[in-house]
Structure formats: C-alpha cells, structure tokens
Amino acid sequence: MPRTLFFIGLCALAVSATAEALTPARQAELRSLVHQDCGSCHGMRLTGGLGPALTPQALQDKSHEFLFATIRDGRPGTPMPPWRPLLTRQEIDWIVDYLKSAGAAP
C-alpha cells in the first residue's frame, strides 16, 4: 500500500508540473526579461551587439534543444551567463519559443 501511494503521489506531481501554464503576467515578465536583460548584450532590438542576433531569422537553423541549453547553461568562455538558477525549464522553453516566433522580431 505505501508503495502504491508513493507512485500515485509521483504521478500527481508530474502531472501538476507539466500542466502548470505560465500566467499572462509571467509571460509579460519574460518578454521584458528578453528585451531588457538579453537585449543588453544582444541589442535592444535583438539584432546583435556583444552577442549574436536573436531574431527569428537568425535562429531559424538553431534547434530548440541548442537554444534551451544555451539559455540554461550559458556558454563557457563567453559573456553568456547561465540562467538555470533564475528560470524554470518551462520558462526557458517559453523563451525559446518566443525568440523563434514573430513576437520577438524587431
């Protein structure tokens, strides 16, 4: 019985974590983060600066996984910091989708 309850608890936790959507308010905060924090190195219009351009056109050949890892872990030997301590997996996924969409275009 305890093993069954433990398994049910794990399943419930997994479902609640994946079902939790970002609120519109959090999405607005992330948009601001992209344009302000990322923009401080990648250009305020995300067209490049210290870091490369982050426009949908510039990212079209980059995989979701590559961009996710870059945001999560940074790029050693470059000014790109890891955002893992500050952003959840879901938030990083949202940022990657946002950057690759027309919404992030200048």
48: Cβ contacts below 8 Å, ≥ 6 apart: 42, 58
How confident is the model at residue 102, as a pLDDT? Answer: 75
For 16-73, the pLDDT digits (tens) are: 343 369 999 999 999 999 999 999 999 999 999 999 999 999 999 999 999 999 999 9
Is there a domain that residue 30 lies in? yes
Would you say 95 and 70 are in contact if contact means Cβ atoms under 8 Å apart? Answer: no
Distance CA 75, CA 82 (A): 7
State the Cα–Cα distance between residues 77 and 100, nearest whole angstrom: 25
Per the structure, the complete domain to which residue 75 belongs is given by 23-104
Residue 98 within a domain: yes
- The total of structural domains in the chain comes to 1
Question: Residue 30: which CATH number?
Answer: 1.10.760.10
